[in-house]
Amino acid sequence: MLDLDRQEVSRILANYDRTTEKLEVTRQATRALQPDTLARLTEISDNIWSSIDRLPTLMATDVTWELWQIDGDDIRRDFGPGSPGGLAYEAARIMERVVRPEALE
């Protein structure tokens, strides 16, 4: 999760229980963004927001992706099978470098 207003990135792991239909956050890590990283993620976010095209997808099996951009009451939602491509892929890689998976351990 990227919060540009707070200038931070969070990695959240959650379990969904189908029987109770509840989502439980099991682990979470949040890191502040350095100015250069914040600037690049803001640029990517602005470019995605202003794009009229759907975001590309990288084909992969057994996974799907979603990208939600929320600005007040305005929402843009992109999704697809596989993994995100293009700018969404770049943003995901940057955020993964900021909050590495081992931060959740």
pLDDT averaged over consecutive 10-residue blocks of the chain (105 residues)? 92 88 90 95 94 88 88 91 91 89 68
Long-range CB pairs of 42-45 (<8 Å, 24+ gap) are 42/4, 44/87, 44/90, 44/91, 44/94, 45/2, 45/4, 45/69, 45/91
Task: Say what the pLDDT of residue 7 is.
Answer: 94
Global confidence as pTM: 0.79
Beta strands per DSSP E along 1-105: 2-3, 8-17, 22-32, 57-58, 64-71, 74-81, 83-84
Number of structural domains the chain divides into: 1
> Containing domain of residue 87, as a range?
2-104
Task: Say what the pLDDT of residue 47 is.
Answer: 95
Buried b (16+ CB within 10 A) or exposed e, 53-63: eebebeeeeee
Task: Say what the pLDDT of residue 104 is.
Answer: 65
